[in-house]
Amino acid sequence: MEPNKTCCFTGHRLIPAGDLPLVAAALRREILRLCREEGVVTFLSGGALGFDTLAAETVLDVAREVPGISLVIVRPCADQAHGWSARDTARYESALARASEVVTLAPAYRPGCMQARNRYLVDHSSVVLCYLTERSGGTAYTVRYAVSRGLPIINTAPAQTDLLSGL
């Protein structure tokens, strides 16, 4: 995995239904652009519900059109899906099975494992593609960390580009 040709994803678990088509279209457009214009070949997803799942599924879809790109799912812990609904677990397991690689950072949940996963994503990437609508929480933490590391940030949230300033 070459960090200079790698993009990671971070985003909120909940995407309002009205925003979902816009976010999905922006995500697909940016993944294609990163592949074709920036030479990105590896995409890292944290495997969480919401934006991470949408991003992983979009990369797998785009891979049929752009050969040679890969999806790496970076799980904070092996039991990440514990307590998820049957539907969400099935989507998660499908993405795991189709990913090029799965990295598991801890055998079981422990305090701090989510933040460790988020730092791993940023530390192994050259660009961050996010869905950021709030200035607090795990997504904002990850974006702030990426900014501190000098990574470019692309926000797929409709009308939220001003959130990136001041983080």
Which structural domains are found in the chain, ordered by start?
3-164 (3.40.50.450)
Name the token pair of 34: 């990163």
pTM of the model: 0.93
Mean pLDDT of 75-89: 96
- The pLDDT score that the predictor gives to residue 162 is 64
Confidence of residue 3 (pLDDT cuts 50, 70, 90): low
CA atoms within 13 A on the CB side of 88: 15
Q: Taking Cα atoms as reference points, which of 126, 34, 44, 110 lies closest to residue 78?
A: 110
Q: Taking Cα atoms as reference points, which of 133, 151, 156 lies closest to residue 28?
A: 156
